[in-house]
A and B are shown apart, each in its own frame.
Chain A
Amino acid sequence: MKKIDKAVADRYFREKNRNIIIYFIVWFMVSYGVVLFAEPLSTITFIGFPLHYYMGAQGAILTFIILLFVNAKLGDKIDQKYGIDESKNEQISSGSTLEH
């Protein structure tokens, strides 16, 4: 175990949080945002659908799936940047579990 600068660890935390805030803004716009403006959006047509209907039936769900995969991938990248080694995580993790 070696000590690292707390500022570095906090930078890790902030970087992850900044991404999560961005994901939630997108999440809000494609779901709640579209519902709030459903009436004006219904005049636009997209691959045969009225746009508000398309977003509710497909657009929002596809966006959610993409956001989750982006989060998983970028999360790995941030881990890598801060020298986190997944195999060590696994070791620590299996030891830190509270066994009764």
Chain B
Amino acid sequence: MDGQFIVSLAIILATFALYIGIAVYNTAKATSDFYVAGRGVPPIFNGMAIGADWMSAASFIGMAGTVMVLGYDGLAYIMGWTGGYLFLTFLLAPQLRKYGRYTVPEFIGDRYDSHSARVIAAVCTIIISFTYSIGQLSGSGVVIGRLFEIDAKVGTMIGVVLIAIYAAFGGMKGITWTQVAQYLILITAYLVPIIFMSLQISGNPIPWISYGEVVGKLGELDRELGISEYFAPFTNGTKWQFLALMFTLMAGTAGLPHVIVRFYTVSTMKAARWSGAWALLFIGLLYLSAPAYAAFSRFILMTQVAGSQISQLPAWTKSWVDTGMLQVADTNNDGILQWSELVIANDIVVMATPEIANLGVFVIGLVAAGAMAAALSTAGGLMISLSSSFAHDIYYRVWKPQASEKNRLLVARWSIVVATLFAGLIALNPPGVITQIVAWAFAIASGTFFPALVLGVWWKRSNTKGVIAGLLIGLAVTLGYIFAAKYGGFTILGIIDTGAGVFGAAAGFLANIIVSLSTEAPAQKLQDEVINLRYPEQMVYKDGEVWMHDGEPKQG
């Protein structure tokens, strides 16, 4: 047990105590509070909560490493995961808020007036959230395992218990304020090492400006080594794969149920607009910094680590080599470690760089706490959306409409506990790499909910049969392409499994449109409700006429 371990543990425990304290303080009492925090969260804090919800273990731990390894091609993740907020904020969030339902399946069920559509949407939500949470749980397992030097499986189990407790007892209100705290911790943990590295390398404390020069120097170093330049485009895949991946991540962002549900927690359409803007500002802070993190890490590795004597490598190399994520092999037996002899896994770049750059025990502990915040906050949001799909959309709306509020809350809590344990069980032995699992969840969201929601809000002619066909065909095409590309070697224009969403979304839109047009139009009342979404709350569309409300609440 060394000093580093004690410092890291103390920081992590202190942050956990804070999250749990907030969750306990806010323990939800009524159903409305449990799901959507009583709809009164101010946009700026809602923006931070969306940010914490959004930035998962993959963003915090994996993204800078991916950019470092892929170079320019890794930037598809940066643009894809931010550009989707325009789809979300312009096309969906305010309108869904005006429609005023609790969950995405509820919107789809009521807008298309169909229990079948509701159940399919609830099942899609469960598939997406569940897939995504497996990645988070195994991510938290890696961090806890590495930190306490215990097996990652034990680490995963610790994460499962923590998530089950605060998601089940806090409800979303607990989570909203917990997530504001988590955002602040994770962004601090991410920025501190980058600012230190920037000072170390260029003497300039503003990394976003100083790393341009570093990127240029990396290109020179690559030219000397005769490998392709760091910033050269499309060295790891085709241009079409870059575009398809970027689209999949953008459309998936706009179709992720646990992110959309955040926009129901604001008071009005105006607040939804502002929440989207604040959210991207807070998220952008991390996404703008990830390529800087990547460039500094690569620069330090190329200039300070590569070229040193194999026998005199610093202490940090040993502990990372032991995890199997770092390989140093003197293949040409000259006793010196060349850049080509150093193989570093994407997922350890963020965690290992503070050690490599010798930033001190406090910064290393802070990064571990930030990584935990990222994994736990996203998993918490996913569990809420999964449990509400089951308890609210399937159990209450379809199965047992006479269930009491107390009963439904109990079902919601139990479904969180069961789903977390089950996801944890799979996370002990994950079916793929974390980033891969996360990308599949995005592809499924872009093939199912993206077309169903966009057409549901913007096209009054879209009907029940159309949405059912769209959801099922979109799901089938997305899953089919993922499997065909991953296991069958089938690709179109070099687009691999992570870009599958582009085909899923196209199929989902086409099926919805073709089937809707070839069957009867939806009831006039449903069409009127869609037209009503064009206007702000105060304007009400009814029977072909628009009324200006003078402000007394309608009978709900």
Residues of A within 8 A of B (CB): 1-6, 8-9, 12-13, 20, 23-24, 27, 31-32, 35-36, 38-39, 42, 45-50, 52-54, 56-58, 60-62, 64-65, 67-69, 71-72, 75-76, 79, 82-100
What residues of chain B lie closer than 8 Å to A39, measured between beta carbons? 233
Is B90 in contact with A53, judged by CB distance below 8 angstroms?
no
Tell me the complex Cα distance, A93–B231, Å: 49
Is B72 in contact with A53, judged by CB distance below 8 angstroms?
yes
Interface size class of B (residues with CB under 8 A): 35 or more
Q: Tell me the smallest distance from the CB of A81 to a CB of chain B, in Å.
A: 12
Closest to B88 in A: A68
Question: CB < 8 Å: which of B277, B548, B556 contacts A96?
Answer: B556
Query: What are 6 A-B contacts defined by CB distance under 8 Å?
Result: A27-B86, A56-B72, A84-B538, A89-B537, A93-B97, A98-B101
> What is the 8 Å Cβ interface bit string for chain B, positions 276-296, against chain A (1 contact, 0 not)?
110011001001100100000
Is A60 in contact with B545, judged by CB distance below 8 angstroms?
no
Q: Tell me the smallest distance from the CB of B97 to a CB of chain A, in Å.
A: 8
Interface residue B549 (Cβ < 8 Å from any Cβ of A): yes
What residues of chain B lie closer than 8 Å to A53, measured between beta carbons? 72, 75, 215, 231
Q: Tell me the smallest distance from the CB of B289 to a CB of chain A, in Å.
A: 10
What residues of chain B lie closer than 8 Å to A99, measured between beta carbons? 32, 556
> What is the 8 Å Cβ interface bit string for chain B, positions 188-227, against chain A (1 contact, 0 not)?
0000000000000000000011001101100100000000
Tell me the complex Cα distance, A45–B216, Å: 9
Residues 504 to 544 of chain B near chain A (Cβ within 8 Å): 534-541, 544
Question: Given A53-B231, A71-B273, A86-B268, are A61 and B534 also a contact pair (CB < 8 Å)?
Answer: no
Interface class of chain B by DSSP? helix
What residues of chain B lie closer than 8 Å to A27, measured between beta carbons? 83, 86
Is B281 in contact with A65, judged by CB distance below 8 angstroms?
yes
Is B239 in contact with A38, judged by CB distance below 8 angstroms?
yes
Interface residue B82 (Cβ < 8 Å from any Cβ of A): yes
Interface residue B115 (Cβ < 8 Å from any Cβ of A): no
Closest to A46 in B: B212
Interface residue B318 (Cβ < 8 Å from any Cβ of A): no
Question: CB < 8 Å: which of A71, A85, A90 contacts B89?
Answer: A71
Question: CB < 8 Å: which of A42, A90, A100 contacts B267?
Answer: A90
Is A38 in contact with B233, judged by CB distance below 8 angstroms?
yes
Question: Given A89-B269, A95-B554, are A68 and B89 also a contact pair (CB < 8 Å)?
Answer: yes
Is B72 in contact with A38, judged by CB distance below 8 angstroms?
yes
Is A100 in contact with B31, judged by CB distance below 8 angstroms?
yes
What residues of chain B lie closer than 8 Å to A45, measured between beta carbons? 216
Closest to A88 in B: B551
Question: Given A2-B547, A98-B101, are A57 and B267 also a contact pair (CB < 8 Å)?
Answer: no
Q: Tell me the smallest distance from the CB of B283 to a CB of chain A, in Å.
A: 9
Residues 268 to 325 of chain B near chain A (Cβ within 8 Å): 268-270, 273-274, 276-277, 280-281, 284, 287-288, 291
Interface class of chain A by DSSP? helix
Question: Given A35-B239, A36-B239, are A9 and B546 also a contact pair (CB < 8 Å)?
Answer: yes
Is A35 in contact with B547, judged by CB distance below 8 angstroms?
no
Q: Tell me the smallest distance from the CB of B327 to a CB of chain A, in Å.
A: 28
Is B280 in contact with A4, judged by CB distance below 8 angstroms?
no
Closest to A90 in B: B267
Given contacts A48-B213, A93-B97, 17 further A-B contacts (CB under 8 A): A9-B535, A13-B534, A20-B91, A35-B246, A38-B72, A38-B233, A46-B212, A57-B288, A64-B86, A75-B270, A82-B536, A84-B538, A90-B267, A92-B538, A92-B553, A93-B268, A100-B396
Is A31 in contact with B246, judged by CB distance below 8 angstroms?
yes
What residues of chain B lie closer than 8 Å to A13, measured between beta carbons? 534-535
Question: CB < 8 Å: which of B101, B242, B288, B546 contacts A4?
Answer: B546
Is A52 in contact with B72, judged by CB distance below 8 angstroms?
yes
Question: CB < 8 Å: which of B79, B239, B536, B545 contacts A79?
Answer: B536
Is A92 in contact with B537, judged by CB distance below 8 angstroms?
yes
Is A12 in contact with B246, judged by CB distance below 8 angstroms?
no
Q: Tell me the smallest distance from the CB of A44 to a CB of chain B, in Å.
A: 12
Is A60 in contact with B546, judged by CB distance below 8 angstroms?
no
Is B90 in contact with A61, judged by CB distance below 8 angstroms?
no
Q: Tell me the smallest distance from the CB of A78 to a CB of chain B, in Å.
A: 9
Q: Tell me the smallest distance from the CB of B250 to a CB of chain A, in Å.
A: 8
Is A3 in contact with B72, judged by CB distance below 8 angstroms?
no
Is A90 in contact with B268, judged by CB distance below 8 angstroms?
yes
Closest to B233 in A: A38
Is B90 in contact with A23, judged by CB distance below 8 angstroms?
yes
Tell me the complex Cα distance, A3–B243, Å: 47
Q: Tell me the smallest distance from the CB of A95 to a CB of chain B, in Å.
A: 3
Tell me the complex Cα distance, A32–B91, Å: 19
Closest to B396 in A: A100
What residues of chain B lie closer than 8 Å to A32, measured between beta carbons? 243, 246
Is B546 in contact with A64, judged by CB distance below 8 angstroms?
no
Interface residue B146 (Cβ < 8 Å from any Cβ of A): no
Question: CB < 8 Å: which of B274, B288, B545 contacts A6?
Answer: B545
Q: Tell me the smallest distance from the CB of B308 to a CB of chain A, in Å.
A: 27
What residues of chain B lie closer than 8 Å to A2, measured between beta carbons? 547-548, 550
Q: Tell me the smallest distance from the CB of A46 to a CB of chain B, in Å.
A: 8
Tell me the complex Cα distance, A75–B97, Å: 15
What residues of chain B lie closer than 8 Å to A76, measured between beta carbons? 270
Tell me the complex Cα distance, A57–B78, Å: 7
Q: Tell me the smallest distance from the CB of B34 to a CB of chain A, in Å.
A: 12
Interface residue B234 (Cβ < 8 Å from any Cβ of A): yes
Is B550 in contact with A60, judged by CB distance below 8 angstroms?
no
Is A72 in contact with B246, judged by CB distance below 8 angstroms?
no
What residues of chain A lie closer than 8 Å to B276, measured between beta carbons? 68, 72
Tell me the complex Cα distance, A79–B216, Å: 47
What residues of chain A lie closer than 8 Å to B32, measured between beta carbons? 99
Tell me the complex Cα distance, A15–B216, Å: 44
Question: CB < 8 Å: which of B39, B85, B273 contacts A97?
Answer: B39
> What is the 8 Å Cβ interface bit string for chain B, positions 237-273, against chain A (1 contact, 0 not)?
0010011001000000000000000000001111001
